[in-house]
Amino acid sequence: MRRLLLLTLLLLPAVALLRAQAPQAPPQEPKLILFVAIDQFRYDYLPRFRDEYKGGLKTLLDRGAVFANAHLEHYPSVTAVGHSTMMSGATPAISGIIGNDWYDRETSKQVTSVSDPLGKLLGAAGEASSPKRLLVSTIGDELKRSGSPDSKVIGISMKDRGAILPAGHMADAAYWFDNASGAFVSSDYYFPQTPAWVQAFNAAGHVKEYAGKTWVAGRTMPTEPGPKLNAAVYGSSYGNDLLESFAEDLIREEKLGQRGVTDVLTVGFSSNDSVGHTYGPDSPEAHAVSVGVDGSLGRLFAAVESAVGIENVLVVLTADHSVSPLPEVLESQKMPGGRVLGDFFAPARAALEAKYGPGNWIEATAGTSPYFNYKLMDEQGVDRAEAEDIVAAVMREHPQVARVYTRQQILAGRAAYDAIDSRVLRSFNPQRSGDLEIVLNPFWIRSTSGTTHGSPYNYDTHIPLIFMGPGIKPGRYYKAAALNDAAPTIAALLDIEMPSGSLGRILDEIIK
Ligand SMILES: [Zn+2]
């Protein structure tokens, strides 16, 4: 009797534990992660055009977890950095993707975030691209490594960097658009040749379907097939439509989400960026391409619904950056801002020559960052820290320079009192970055026409961030969120390892 009692007592905690565990069923595994990035999409395009959205953006706004205060917590706010951050959770200091391009000291050449001189482009003539410069892992990489090697991970975009960087190193494929040929191309990094369905899609010559068409009043496509038509399609709403058609073939042919494992598809709609740069965010063209991408996304959701069932799909939508209004529009509204024209680094070169004598002291620049000529400085016994201070002092006198950071200052962590400083600090990579980081005043840009992005200010960093699908609590969320919170949140939902460089927060407020 006593033994029975003892046994019962011993078993009690186990029974209690089982009871407590019963409701904690593992979250439903999505069949597909559909990660959508719209290139250059301002947060305010959501409220501004909300009444006109009838497609995918409407579905996301109605049924998703919508962040009203999501920002890029990095600098510069450009395409490659945004796309390298969204599925890695890493900022440029760690990911190594410090810009769309930079100066590579090892080869003394300008490189892009994905340029791969050893690779071979598949499907057209030209330079190859691959994720080799990305130093960190992505969600796709960690999913495959976390016991799901059969998961397919594929990235597509009109831009190489938009396709390659979110997908990651172990991706099964990445496809992007080649303006010269009008084909979707890839690289021998992924396979020796593109699959037959890709070749068939290209052979069908879908670009021609847009010849002579008008996408917004006054903007008509060339009538003749060729590079001009290809570029015009890319720079209009039709570019998004074309990419969406490609995505539909891909989901069907690769059977994404239909194979009993979780697959990952990243889709980068690039045409919004091209339109925004040319016409500015307040133009009828930006309006048209925003409503247009809502339609493309609606068709993509319909395809996913019939192939996988949208309730089995974790959808994440975001943007790689926003954009500044056109300086001329700002001026007409009595707002600050303008164009910084002329040779930006002339005062820096002059100051170095005044101190150290004639010489090519700055051997390259990337954006507003100069790269000193280390070889010459070493030969002449120039103290680099002193040279940095000289350039910093003269650049601070520029009427439109807001802040200057030297390499020594950043490496010593001597600056971080607000978000602007921390965005710059967390984006400095000692091997790849230049010797100073120079930030202009708000709304000042260096483009001679149109507009651009790249600054650490809200008009460039405030982005949409929406989650929808299994395990997500719909609603509107006001707590601060960052683009680099997306990857750790997806990792938590999938219960897989964190991407290697992720510094983001799990957005647990949206998790059921
Ligand atoms: Zn972009």
Q: Are 485 and 383 members of one domain? A: no
pLDDT at 28 (0 to 100):
73
Q: Are 144 and 234 members of one domain? A: yes
Residues 6+ apart with CB under 8 A from 269: 36, 37, 38, 39, 157, 158, 239, 240, 243, 293, 296, 297
Are β-strands 313-319 and 32-38 bridged in parallel, bridged antiparallel, or unpaired?
parallel
Residue 40 CA to ligand 1 center (angstroms) comes to 5
Structural domain span for residue 370: 341-399+401-440
**Do residues 361 and 376 lie in contact, with contact meaning Cβ atoms separated by under 8 Å?**
yes
Q: Are 345 and 247 members of one domain? A: no
Band of pLDDT at residue 415, cut at 50, 70 and 90? confident
Residue 293 CA to ligand 1 center (angstroms) comes to 15
Q: Per the domain annotation, does 27 fall within a domain?
A: no
Q: Are 431 and 489 members of one domain? A: no
Average pLDDT over residues 430-441: 98
Calpha distance 263→244 (Å, rounded): 18
Q: Are 233 and 125 members of one domain? A: yes
The last residue of one of the domains, among 410, 440, 470, is 440
Residue 117 CA to ligand 1 center (angstroms) comes to 23
Between 415 and 310, residue with greater pLDDT: 310
pLDDT at 255 (0 to 100):
98
Residue 302 CA to ligand 1 center (angstroms) comes to 26
Average per-residue pLDDT for the chain: 95
Residue 78 CA to ligand 1 center (angstroms) comes to 5
Q: Are 362 and 298 members of one domain? A: no
Whether the pLDDT of residue 469 is over 80: the answer is yes
Calpha distance 424→410 (Å, rounded): 9
Residue 304 CA to ligand 1 center (angstroms) comes to 25
Whether the pLDDT of residue 20 is over 70: the answer is no
Q: Are 435 and 475 members of one domain? A: no
**Do residues 284 and 217 lie in contact, with contact meaning Cβ atoms separated by under 8 Å?**
yes
Q: Per the domain annotation, does 299 fall within a domain?
A: yes
Angle between helices 237-253 and 271-279 (to 10 degrees): 170
Q: Are 171 and 38 members of one domain? A: yes
Residue 496 tokens, joined: 């897989």
Full-model pTM: 0.94
Residue 274 CA to ligand 1 center (angstroms) comes to 9
Strand blocks (E) in 39-150:
65-71, 101-104, 109-112, 121-122
Q: Per the domain annotation, does 448 fall within a domain?
A: no
Q: Are 497 and 373 members of one domain? A: no
Count other Cβ atoms within 10 Å, centred on residue 283: 18
Q: Are 142 and 171 members of one domain? A: yes
Band of pLDDT at residue 6, cut at 50, 70 and 90? low
pLDDT at 416 (0 to 100):
78
Between CA 133 and CA 156, with CA 464 as vertex, the angle to 5 degrees is 45
Q: Per the domain annotation, does 19 fall within a domain?
A: no
Q: Per the domain annotation, does 41 fall within a domain?
A: yes
Residue 411 CA to ligand 1 center (angstroms) comes to 28
CATH of the domain at 408: 3.30.1360.150
- Residue-wise pLDDT for 263-291, tens only, equals 999 999 999 999 999 999 999 999 999 99
Residue 259 CA to ligand 1 center (angstroms) comes to 33
Q: Per the domain annotation, does 471 fall within a domain?
A: yes
Average pLDDT over residues 127-143: 98
- Per residue, the 3-state secondary structure of 431-464, as one string, reads CCCCCEEEEECCCEECCCCCCCCCCCCHHHHEEE
Share of the chain above pLDDT 90, in %: 93
pLDDT at 22 (0 to 100):
47
Residue 74 CA to ligand 1 center (angstroms) comes to 14
Residue 320 CA to ligand 1 center (angstroms) comes to 5
Residue 87 CA to ligand 1 center (angstroms) comes to 15
- Per residue, the 3-state secondary structure of 293-309, as one string, reads HHHHHHHHHHHHHHHCC
Q: Per the domain annotation, does 447 fall within a domain?
A: no
Count other Cβ atoms within 10 Å, centred on residue 172: 18
Calpha distance 288→309 (Å, rounded): 29
Q: Are 181 and 216 members of one domain? A: yes
Whether the pLDDT of residue 2 is over 70: the answer is no
Q: Per the domain annotation, does 50 fall within a domain?
A: yes
Average pLDDT over residues 174-182: 97
Residue 472 CA to ligand 1 center (angstroms) comes to 27
B/e letters for 465-498, b = 16+ CB within 10 Å, e = fewer, are bbbbbebbebeebeeebbbbbbbbbbbbbbebbb
The CA-atom distances, in angstroms, between 194 and each of 187, 198, 365 are 8, 6, 36
CATH of the domain at 241: 3.40.720.10
Residue 82 CA to ligand 1 center (angstroms) comes to 7
Q: Are 305 and 375 members of one domain? A: no
Calpha distance 481→465 (Å, rounded): 8
The last residue of one of the domains, among 440, 465, 491, is 440
- Residue-wise pLDDT for 54-80, tens only, equals 999 999 999 999 999 999 999 999 999
Whether the pLDDT of residue 17 is over 90: the answer is no
Tally the domains of the chain: 2
Residue 348 CA to ligand 1 center (angstroms) comes to 29
pLDDT at 7 (0 to 100):
52
Residue 156 CA to ligand 1 center (angstroms) comes to 14
Average pLDDT over residues 190-206: 98
pLDDT at 491 (0 to 100):
98
- Beta bridge partners of residue 477, listed in sequence order: 67
